[in-house]
Amino acid sequence: MAIQWFPGHMHLTRKAIEERIKEIDVVIELLDARLPGSSANPMLAQLTAGKPALKVLNKQDLADPVRTQEWLAHFNALPGTRALGLDASMTSPAKVLVHACFELAPNRGTMVKPMRVLICGIPNVGKSTLINTLKGKRAAVTGDEAGVTKIEQRIVLQDGFYLFDTPGVLWPRIIVAKSGYNLAASGAIGRNAFDEEEVALELLDYLRQHYAPLVEARYKISGVADQTDEQILEAVGRKRGALLPGGRINLQKAADLVIHDFRAAVMGRITLETPAEFSQWLAHGQKLDAERQVKKDAIELDRAVRFKKVPRPPRGKPSDEESSD
């Protein structure tokens, strides 16, 4: 089942970005280093098209370092784009970000021509925490729930450098099914918008193929690569005491444990997608979306005809060539 989450305040955020982007010099998009493709907002790409972009892979200390380098190379190869990794251990992230912004817009940064930077990203990607680090004080509200920030804030990092913070925003419809699961696993989607057991099974299916030793070490389970995701989830439940009366496995509790362990990185440093994988997922999602749109258009045309809003297309009418014979 596809996962979707676009609450009301996100509509307002989209409108605010549409207005603000007219006067912005650089756009910083904060991405989750564990799912850089899935956490890159296609709606933001459309709204901010043509603006210099700084892609920041946040939480890189939780991600697979080899895959992080692959993603940085991927983004740095894009025109008008710079990419860098970031995590809580960096002592001077402000200097790094400010320097990168000046490289993208070298003629800004004075009181006459101030640097105006928009920072955006999906919910719960660590944006508010980063802003507080940049300011050296609690300038933004933080939390481990998606959708904490609800209003735009303007923050002065230094003379002639203004940072505009926006609430975390997803996009109206997620066409890459795998992205929906990865976003839910990371905490970017409200907990009422997805089924924890379904997300945990998708997560385990990927981990058994790419990070089986980490799963085995965490839960003391052997032969993970040869088991199904359902078998692994049941084994996790047994090992961690997620049991119901009669010795049955509490799959809901087991799923919560798996998702929590991924978010807290207690399994190890994991990245749920490579640039090549995400490219394939996106192409497949776009194909399905195009097919869906064709069906939707046909249904709407049929409905319009039935309610006589448009004339029915002629049937059996000869073509121009046939008429001329």
Q: At residue 320, does pLDDT exceed 60? A: no
In whole angstroms, what is the distance from residue 170 CA to residue 3 CA? 12
In whole angstroms, what is the distance from residue 78 CA to residue 37 CA? 14
> Which is more confident, 117 or 92?
117
In whole angstroms, what is the distance from residue 124 CA to residue 190 CA? 10
267 touches 214 (CB < 8 A):
yes
Give the CA distances from residue 59 to residues 12, 45, 312, in Å, rounded to whole numbers and listed in that order. Answer: 27, 21, 56
List, for residues 252-265, the tens digit of each pLDDT value.
999 999 999 999 99
Fold agreement between 8-165 and 177-263: no
In whole angstroms, what is the distance from residue 86 CA to residue 84 CA? 7
Give the CA distances from residue 72 to residues 56, 60, 146, 280, in Å, rounded to whole numbers and listed in that order. Answer: 9, 11, 25, 18
1 touches 155 (CB < 8 A):
no
pLDDT of residue 5: 64
Q: What percent of the chain has pLDDT over 90?
A: 56
Q: What is the mean pLDDT of the chain?
A: 86
Architecture field, domain 177-263: Orthogonal Bundle (1.10)
Please state the separation of Cα 303 from the chain's center in Å.
36
SS3 315: coil
162 touches 183 (CB < 8 A):
no
CB-based burial of residue 309 (10 Å sphere; 0-12 exposed, 13-18 middle, 19+ buried)?
exposed
Please state the separation of Cα 304 from the chain's center in Å.
37
H/E stretch holding 268 reads: none
pLDDT of residue 36: 98
**Residue range 284-304: mean pLDDT, rounded:** 87
154 touches 162 (CB < 8 A):
yes
Count Cα atoms within 13 angstroms, Cβ side, for 286.
Answer: 7
**Residue range 243-251: mean pLDDT, rounded:** 93
152 touches 166 (CB < 8 A):
yes
Order of strands across the sheet that contains 26-32 = 81-85, 53-58, 26-32, 115-121, 161-165, 153-158
Query: Taking the domains of the chain in order of start, what are their residue ranges?
Result: 8-165, 177-263
List, for residues 129-183, the tens digit of each pLDDT value.
888 888 775 444 444 444 444 456 788 888 889 999 888 888 778 999 999 999 9
Two tokens, residue 159: 């003379």
In whole angstroms, what is the distance from residue 30 CA to residue 119 CA? 7
The CATH number of domain 8-165 is 3.40.50.300: yes
> Which is more confident, 71 or 323?
71
Q: At residue 79, does pLDDT exceed 70? A: yes
